[in-house]
Amino acid sequence: MVVLLVFGLVGACAAAPPPPPPASPAAQVPQVSFADLESRFDSRLGVYAIDTGTGREIAHRADERFNYASAIKSLLAGAVLRRNVDLDKVVTYTDADIQPNSPITKDRRSVTVCEAAEAALLQSDNTAANLLFAEVGGPAGLAAVLREIGDTTTHPDRLEVELNSAIPGDIRDTSTPRAMAGSLRAFLLGDALPADKRDLLVGIMRRNRTGAELIRAGVPSEWPVADKTGTGDYGTRNDIGVIWPPTGAPIVLALMSSRGTPDAEHDNKLLAEAASRVVDALR
């Protein structure tokens, strides 16, 4: 058993309770507009949400490509678990491997795979993410796992931090809201992972420290959320996650956004307001 003293987290690798069973049969698809948000925040916004109990969907630019930035770390962790990598395995690295925004790994030169997964998911540690990439065979290895679970859209190409460049028209390191939501659903709610590993991933992502102002800010505070955020150039700001309302089945939501210039700043309120509209429409 891995003893995680590094992060000071209670139950760091403990499993979360399994998601509730599906709820009611399909109902009418709600109509939600996001055009005013795009105008107000001067951003391109992609939205895909599905109520997994009723099958109702909300989509806006759901099949357009966006840079996925660090949101890919959730699928990367899922790929590590699917490949049955030993979570107790100790991986070592050098000063040259340290990437910007590596709050956990920058002061160490070895971590277990489980510690790397937690660092990548909870604090978006970039060095930890690259260590996970190495465990699955790099971006090509991640792509192979995603193809196995039916995702033929997501396009992994580079490591951190280069994968955040988000150059318009560049297919590298991009996906769509629909594809990201589908893969996340497969890992967190579906059969892409056995139950124990699925619950482990859910348990870690429910304690994400980077998403308080995004999806979590758009849903009632008592609703559990398992999410992963991402930030890149061209104002890229993403959050993908699963939301557990107090009744009914989980909602899977992918929010992806970008702006027109390389150094554009993002506004977290864009994604928070979009999440709120989705939840209001589906519930």
User: What confidence tens digit (pLDDT) does each residue in 126-151 have?
Assistant: 999 999 999 999 999 999 999 999 99
160 is catalytic: yes
**Is the pLDDT assigned to residue 25 strictly greater than 70?**
no
State the architecture of 35-282 in CATH terms: 3-Layer(aba) Sandwich (3.40)
- The pTM of the full predicted model, rounded to 2 decimals, is 0.91
Residue 234: other Cβ atoms inside 10 A:
22
- Would you tell me how many other CB atoms lie within 10 Å of the CB of residue 217? 18
Average pLDDT on 213-217 reads 98
pLDDT digits (tens, 9 = 90+) for 30-73: 789 999 999 999 999 999 999 999 999 999 999 999 999 999 99
Annotated active-site residue 70? The verdict is: yes
Q: What is the arithmetic mean of pLDDT over 219-231?
A: 97
Q: State how far Cα 181 lies from the chain centre.
A: 9
Q: Where are the domains of the chain?
A: 35-282
- Please tell me which residue in 43, 160, 257, 273 is annotated as part of the active site: 160
Q: Which of 70, 74, 183, 258 is catalytic?
A: 70
Provide the pLDDT confidence category of residue 194 given band limits of 50, 70 and 90: very high
